[in-house]
Amino acid sequence: KVITKGSGSFNATVIDTLGNEHEVHVTYKGYSDPGICSGPVERCYPPEGEIEILSVEGLPEGVQLEEGTEDILEDLAWHELYEWAGE
């Protein structure tokens, strides 16, 4: 069982509500615990994890991002977290 914990940053291209692309720098932190799904019942617990976007830098003031962008950035942060951990 390996608990992955870390923080980092990455660059991404996001789209605003007007369809314009913006290059941003995203900072995140998170963890992933695969849980224990076998063995004695009293030792088992489900997998869990959390990712938090700490900042998105590089957007002009007042720009609104397309709906769903936060979910996409969280998915990218998960990918970065696992890459960082060597998984």
Q: Dump pLDDT digits (tens) for 56-70.
A: 999 999 999 999 999
Alpha carbon distance 2, 81 (integer Å): 13
Q: Tens digits of per-residue pLDDT, 14-71?
A: 999 999 999 999 999 999 898 998 999 999 999 899 999 999 999 999 999 999 999 9
pLDDT of 87 reads 56
CA-to-CA distance for 10 and 64, rounded, in angstroms?
A: 20
> What pLDDT score was predicted for residue 1?
58
pLDDT for res 86:
60
Mean pLDDT, the chain, whole residue set? 91
